[in-house]
Amino acid sequence: MDAATLLSRFPATQDLAGKDMPTFRVAGADLLAAVRFLRDEQGFDLLADLCGAEWPDRPTRFGVVLHLLSTAGKEYVRLHVDAVDDRVPSVAALHPGANWHEREAFDMFGIVFEGHPDPRRILMWDGYPFHPLRKDFPLAGIEVPLPAADVAAVTGQTVEPAPMMGGPFVSPGGKLSEGEPSALDQSWTEQHPKA
């Protein structure tokens, strides 16, 4: 990894001195050019991961983290980019594997990827009004009418939701472990007790 060339070619880039791999904060305006440079000139030919991140204490609340791999050099590089006004350029044109990663980051965090070829939600239904991985989203979730209109139109029937029983963090017998977070059981079964 030629960090000096990356930093000189993209002067707004900051070296974050990652402990496990070279890590850089790239300006959104430079993201596509920097990813293209790393792919075409530095050999980072595989997008290994792309995910949304939230830092509530920073001026730019949301960001995106990309991990690129050089399959020939067996080396990773990590890029951070701030989501200014919750927007980041899409890298799906350079790395088609980013398509679903970007859709998930949009779905879970509300980060919009400008230029994305298919900007639909990937996990929640299109009309879902929230972004569940935001830190202000309650651990027990938010009640919304189920099923969504698009699901009902496809199935032609009403489907009862499965009880969450406290979400994925609480087992029926109590906590999974002392290190796991716990949530108050606020699932629909509290309003509709078992018969």
- 92-134 confidence digits (pLDDT tens): 999 999 999 999 999 999 999 999 999 999 998 888 889 999 9
CA 130/CA 177 separation, integer angstroms: 29
Domain chopping of the chain, boundaries: 3-137, 138-195
Average pLDDT, the chain: 84
195 half-sphere exposure, CB direction, 13 A CA radius: 0
Specify the pLDDT at position 18. 87
Domain 3-137 fold is Beta Polymerase; domain 2 (3.30.460)
pTM for this prediction? 0.75
pLDDT tens sequence across 16-54: 988 999 999 999 999 999 999 999 999 999 999 999 999
- Rg of the chain in Å (alpha carbons): 20
Q: What percentage of the chain reaches a pLDDT higher than 70?
A: 74
Structure tokens at 105: 């980051």
Q: Which of 65, 70, 127 is nearest to 98 (CA)?
A: 65
Helix then strand count (H, E) for the chain reads 4, 9
Q: What is the pLDDT of residue 152?
A: 58
d(CA 173, CA 86): 40
